[in-house]
Structure formats: structure tokens, C-alpha cells
Amino acid sequence: MTAIDLTSASVVERAQRISEDVAGPNAEAVDRHARFPVESVEALRVGGLLASLIPVDLGGGGAGIREVADVVAILGRGCASTAMVYAMHQIQVACLVRHGRTPVLAAYLREVAADGLLLASATTEVGIGGDVRSSSCAVERSPGRFHLTKEAPVISYGAFADGILATARRTPASPASDQVLVVCRRAHTRLEQRSDWDTLGFRGTCSNGFTLTSDDDDAYVMPDSYADISSQTMLPTSHILWASVWLGLATAAVDKARGFVQAAARKSPGSTPPAALHLAELVAVHQQLADLVQSAARRYDEAWGIDDREVVEAMGFVIAMNALKVSASQLVVDIVSRAMQICGMAGYSNGSPLSLGRLLRDAYGAALMVNNDRINANNAQLLLIHREH
């Protein structure tokens, strides 16, 4: 890949080049072999995009959530697995930026920015049934030190991460819901693989299961409770950036459908192909998804910019972010399915340049990342007591 000119290219321009020159051309191989998108992540590191969300005074790009969401969508257009890795990394960065208000954690963020470190997450745990707001493992402390052992059924790209942010009970005596977030640095953490990642879609995220063991300075246990980190930062950032991945994926499907219809039109000048009507309908649905994602990103970005935590913890905002995740994960499947109907066998065939198989398989994973049923159940409880103002 040609070196990226950081002095003249904006964040979005750099993302566009990486998506077109690196992520897109390698997407099929990443999917076919279920391998980590090494080339794309290295390009993101070289291009400074892993540090986009880190404040300028800590060596980062100083971008907001809205700009990062745009980058995620651009990457998703080329390779959904690359976009998901980038999105999950930025979710962890967001938690450190907003809640790592200590000299030690600020220094770690400077290291993340300077060295292009890749951060992963370990919030799920064997035996808790997908409830990330509950932990069975606990932080054990000795003077100035912590020890943590966690059985994680999934740590996306854990084997490739330079740091992992893991949830755990605050102490062995704490209830399951009294959680903290622990920064597990690579040099102080051991991962023993327990399961493989052989899935229908998002194969390049390499989300194997591991036993995580970490021993380090207790300054790497984040000071804010995980309840606050989750509600104020992790959940809204996750829903927005995941939805941005699906927007990029959906855009790739629309691109293929548009190319199919335009090729048909060139074969019959002066006539409108029958599929053109379906393309118009597809573009309308895609616009719904784009507006949904972009408005949510803008809304959260405004609260992020002024550090307004009351806004993001308001019940109406939580309901809206939950609804974003559910709606976006349903719309992306609808969009890719419509595109396949337009492209016909060209979209159904794996060997075709218009193949939509990878996009459809990735799209079906959207509803399973924090299952939609769990999110709808949470919203159902909130709606029983929420009053619009």
C-alpha cells in the first residue's frame, strides 16, 4: 500500500483510501479463511486512525463520535470484519477517554496513541448467559496489585489485541452487579484459547473464547463503576458504531444492486430495466438506515462534546439508543436481501463480482450481537415507567 499522507488527508479521506485499497481487496480472503484482517488494521495504525478518538493533548486525533461513525461506515463498505474490529476498538478507547481520569490511565492513552495499540473487550463470561451487567469473576487485590482470572466465551480478536478491557466484580465479596472495568495490558496478561470462531459471518473478527489471566498494578482498575461506564459511554457508543458497520455493509449491497441495474440499462439504451423500480425502493430503505444512524451519532456527539452525562443517562436517550440497535440490525438484512433479489443469480453466486453472500451472512449477525430480544425486553421495562416531556 502506498504511504498515506497524514498532512493532507482528512480522517475520512484516509478511511476511504484504506477501505478501497486494503480492506475491500482483502475482504473475501478474510471471510473465506476466517482470518484477522491484518493488512487493514496495520493500515489503520499507520494512518493514525486507531487514535482518532483520543484527545489531541494525549497525542490522538481529537475526533468526535460522529466522525468516527463515518469512518466505521466507510470501512464497512469495504470489509465488515475490518469495520467491526475498528468499531470495537474505538468503543474501548471511548471508555478510557471518558472514564480514565487518572495519571496512569492518561499515560496509557498516550501510549495507545503513540504506538497505535489495538484494544479489545471481554464483557461476556461463561455461566452468565450473555448478561454483560453481571460478573462471576472478581478482582483480587494485594497492596498495589490486582489479579483477575476470567472465563470469556468470546474475546473478539483477543489474540491480536495489545490490551483488553475486562469486566469483573469489584471484590470477591461484591454482588454480581457491582462491577469494574479492568485494563489488561498485553505484557501482563495471559490468554489460553478455549474455543474456536467458525461462524456464518463476521469471520474476520476471530472472536475465540479464552481464559484470561491478568496481574498488574491496581491503577489499571478503572475508577468509575462499570454501571456508569456502560450507561454513559459503552452502550451508546456500541449501538452507534455497530449500526455504522451495518450502514457500511448495506451501502456495499446497494452499490452492487446499482451496478447491476446500470449494466442492464446500458444493454438496452432508451429503456428502463424492470429492476430499476426495485432499486429505487432499495435506495429509499437505505436512506432510512443512513438517516437513523447519522441522527443518532449527531445526537450523541453533541452530548459527548460538552460531556453532558445527564443527557446520555436520561431514559428517553437510552430507549432511543436501544431502538437504534434493533432497527438498524433489522434494516441491514432487509437491504441486503432486496439487493440480492435485484441482482438475482449474479448476487446469489459466490463466484460472481456481484456476489452478496458475504454481505448477507454478515448482516444476519447484527441481531445477535447482544440479542435483540434482550434489548427489546430492556426497552419494554423502561417504557412502563418512561414519560415523554
pLDDT tens digits along 128-137: 877 899 999 9
Cβ pair 336, 363 in contact under 8 A: yes
Distance of alpha carbon 132 from alpha carbon 168, whole angstroms: 10
| Confidence bin at 6 (pLDDT 50/70/90) | very low
Say yes or no to pLDDT of 257 above 90: yes
Pick from 289, 153, 302: which is nearest to 236 by CA?
Answer: 302
Q: What is the pLDDT of residues 280-307, one digit of tens each?
A: 999 999 999 999 999 999 999 988 776 7
Only one residue has cell 430499476, namely 276
Distances in Å between the alpha carbon of 27 and those of 23, 30, 72, 292? 6, 5, 15, 26
Average pLDDT of span 331-342: 98
Considering the entire predicted model, what is its pTM? Answer: 0.95
- The rounded percent of the chain whose pLDDT value lies above 90 is 86
DSSP class of residue 57 equals: G
Distances in Å between the alpha carbon of 355 and those of 115, 119, 255, 372? 37, 32, 12, 27
Distance of alpha carbon 90 from alpha carbon 82, whole angstroms: 12
pLDDT of 11 reads 94
Q: Tell me, rounded to whole angstroms, the distance of Cα 140 from its chain centroid.
A: 30
- Domains assigned to the chain: 11-117 (1.10.540.10), 120-220 (2.40.110.10), 226-383 (1.20.140.10)
Q: What is the pLDDT of residues 147-169, one digit of tens each?
A: 999 999 999 999 999 999 999 99
